[in-house]
Amino acid sequence: MSDIQIGSKVVKFGGSSLADAGQFRKVRAIIESDPQRRYVVPSAPGKRHSADIKITDLLYTCQKLASAGKDFSEPLEMIRSRYLEIAKELGLGFDPTDELDRIAQRLREGATRDFAASRGEYLNGMMLADYLGFPFIDAADVICFNESGTLLMTETMMLLRERLAETKNAVIPGFYGAGPNGEIITFSRGGSDITGSLVARAVRAEIYENWTDVSGVLVADPRIVKDAAVINTITYEELRELSYMGATVLHEDAIFPVRAAGIPINIRNTNQPSDPGTLIVAGDSADSDAQTGYTITGIAGKKGFCAINIQKAMMNAELGFCRRVLSVLEDMGISFEHMPSGIDTMSIILAEDAIKGREKTVLSRIRKAVEPDVCEIEHGISLLAVVGRGMRRTRGTAARIFAALAHARINVKMIDQGSSELNIIIGLLDGDFEEAVRRIYDMFVNSALITKETETD
């Protein structure tokens, strides 16, 4: 490993951070303000306004039309005009026309959705490298997948380290890599976060900065809780719990590469670069650092679940009962989220989409497998997670959560707490979801702020 990378920072910029020329200028100012920001991972240009279309979505449209043998010149021209507009405003000589012609030819020849989608990051990476004066490294040359689309970590680390050791600065587009035969393979949407994490691990970065359009991870969804507080410090474990339950600031798979290397992640706001954002650290580091100031760290959740409710007298004495029920789901390729149970009852919480159109078959097979007294499906369930390392050390946390819900007359359908005591997951009706988030936020955040203000006075 070259000494030039010691103390380096990897910076990833999302689509909103690179939506137009004005955003490009902000990005360059951020990078030039700290010489340690050496390796840059860009997304494709995002929306400039609510009615705008993301470059990636335009590329998907091109591929869809091409695969149907239809003309896709209109969305392709929209893409070309967008890049040319940015380049012109920045005074660059960058012209994507030749590259887009090659992309169009590949699409006519049957290129995949992955190839089409990746070209937004590819072109944006080339343009940003031109603007910064940094070398451009094609992610297809350094991010490796196998035939089934699984990331090859060892090979990727080796290629990244060899390539980046040769250059003090570089732009590596996010979101994609290549398979054994050179075919383009993408991560899931939001996968540029993963690329940034891989680069950070490869160069053993001091920190991985993920720049977006919010000033960090928020305690709750701002669409539900107005002016939700920013989380100052959060652990990898807490963030994964929140990401899994719907918090979308960072792709959940981006945590693993840097977590293994002990590299902290800093979520920052491109439009407010002076804000410290949220620092994501290992659990043992967080315990000695500044706490959030609240017992809980965050609240997140999702709608779109259902419950298979099963009752049978003496269920607890029937050997293999749960196994036979779960075998039905396994045989049908259905995964479940939670399985609360009692002596004679059990409920299986699963995504509505997982059994859509197959409800009768699922119930029929369960009835045949275990002969229950009652077996029915309840729809319209939401799952809400209250997450926080402080919950382990604070008595009465669960009581406060359910008191907040009881005061709002919100009925709880399910309660589940893991052995780590890091989170409490609550099942409730879809219609109660938003109010439940607001009530729990009031109980733990607003009440804490009021207490602090009173103490100050």
221-274 pLDDT tens trace: 999 999 999 999 999 888 888 888 877 778 778 888 998 899 999 999 999 999
69-98 pLDDT tens trace: 999 999 999 999 999 999 999 999 999 999
- In this prediction, residue 18 carries a pLDDT of 98
Sign of the torsion angle spanned by Cα atoms 141, 145, 146, 148: negative
- In this prediction, residue 3 carries a pLDDT of 44
For 240, the token pair is 């994964």
Query: Which of the four pLDDT bands, split at 50, 70 and 90, describes residue 396?
Result: confident
Tell me phi and psi for residue 218, to 5 degrees.
-95, 150
- In this prediction, residue 285 carries a pLDDT of 55
154-176 pLDDT tens trace: 999 999 999 999 999 999 999 99
The closest alpha carbon to 313, from 305, 303, 301, 321, belongs to 321
- Inter-CA distances, 185 with 106, 146, 149, 231, 360, Å: 15, 9, 7, 34, 37
28-68 pLDDT tens trace: 999 999 999 999 999 999 999 999 999 999 999 999 999 99
Residue 450 confidence (pLDDT) above 80: no
Domains and CATH numbers, the chain: 3-213 (3.40.1160.10), 298-456 (3.30.2130.10)
- In this prediction, residue 395 carries a pLDDT of 84
pTM for this one?
A: 0.84
2-16 pLDDT tens trace: 444 567 999 999 999
Query: Which of the four pLDDT bands, split at 50, 70 and 90, describes residue 287?
Result: low
Question: Quick check: 203 and 39 in contact, CB under 8 A?
Answer: yes
Mean pLDDT, the chain, rounded, equals 91
Residue 1 confidence (pLDDT) above 50: no
351-389 pLDDT tens trace: 999 999 999 999 999 999 999 999 999 999 999 999 998
- 71 Cα distance to chain centroid: 34
Mean pLDDT of 321-335: 95
430 membership: H or E segment, kind and range: none
Mean pLDDT of 420-446: 93
